[in-house]
Amino acid sequence: MITYWLDYDWVPDSRTEKLMMEAFGRMVEERERGVAGYYHLPEDSKLLETEVKAWMASNPVLPRCDTIVLIGIGGSSLGTRAVDSMLRHGTENVKRFVFLENPDPVDISEKLSTIRKEKTLFIVVSKSGTTIETISLFKTVIDRFDLDLKGTDRSRVLVITDEGSPLCRFADDHELKAYTIPENVGGRFSVLSAVGIVPLTIAGYDTCGILQGASDMVTRFFERREKHIEKKAAFMATHWERYRMNVLFAYATFLEEFSGWYVHLWGESLGKIDAEGMHVGPTPIGRIGAVDQHSFLQLVMEGPRDKTVTFMKVVDFENDLKIPSLTLENIENADYINTHTFNELINAECDATLQSMVEKKIPVDLIALDRMTPANVGELIVYYELLTSMTGAMLDIDIYTQPGLERGKTILINKFEKDR
């Protein structure tokens, strides 16, 4: 179960209420017309999960594999990384992930040195099938491990891409197993498609539970039973010129990868030029408590009042590690926390920091997960996707494109073409 709480000291006026209704209607239309396919993924991917398990049972190399190397970048890997990080500590017998994403030669070399071919399944993920970082890393893996893609290693490589993409054609030519991404699902909204469900299922996670949690949230939202999403989106969309940043302050180290996924989803979707030529979109910032209480918090509390803050905590870490009942000479003033659990400490820090911001009248909201379960993870993913769509609809922008990225890609291609 997840609890949501808002403290914005703000009530939408009649004009904003009208905008909220129009934005909700736009999302209903997107869902019905198939403009954005992510609305249907929680149900559609249940069949996919069944198909993956059948493939796993017939794959001859998988019983010997304890590692999955996922080759992808951005939306092709961030969601899977986030789910793996959030659920790994509470899931038994899951396979190790190695994520090959960034074209950083030191990072690549270090990760490759940890991989044993005979113990590894390689998964290549690229929606377009031409992502330069991903294809370059795929070539490196083929060369480094001498992969025979027309023979003995065919069962060791799996492809996830768009139907008919160059990577899909490559897979067909080499008779590699391929799963496709729905055409109307963008990369940053794709974690509940084959992009995330296939590798997470193979790794041993309860993807059925993830999908059910997501499906339940989608149902409740379109039945207007999650009105807090509409109010939060309305505040973000109507106050972004004053509050130009939203800080996700997540109180668990294993939520750091989720923060990265949120920054990607929010930034690429909402950073746009609107119909009037105005550059819009609140900037997403991911921070981890309690670590960043000792740095970034000062800026929030006494710096420019241009930020909203979302607190995220896990009520029960299902870990009873305690602070020992020890008294250290000269630092006895720290004894007040003795015998309490670290679970109590980190959540008390979250609550105290939140209260201090409420007292300063900084707009805050809280997302409290009772535990870190597959269903809660699925709900959390869809919560942020719906919030992003609702905010974009109220800003009257197309959140499913990313034209700002294209010029850089063109310059990169021209540079290397010139050097050939």
Active site residues: 268, 294, 409
Rounded to whole angstroms, the Cα distance separating 416 from 420 reads 6
Residue 83 CB partners (closer than 8 Å, separation 6+): 191, 196, 200, 205, 210, 377, 381
> Is residue 36 within 8 Å of 407, Cβ to Cβ?
no
Residue that is written with structure tokens 């330069």 in the block: 132
CB atoms within 10 A of CB 254: 19
Q: In what order do the strands lie in the sheet with 96-100?
A: 96-100, 67-71, 120-126, 157-162, 177-181
Locate 267 and state its tokens: 């930034």
Helices 207-222 and 194-203, packing angle to 10 deg: 140
Rounded to whole angstroms, the Cα distance separating 219 from 374 reads 17
> Is residue 29 within 8 Å of 22, Cβ to Cβ?
no
- 260 in helix, strand or coil? helix
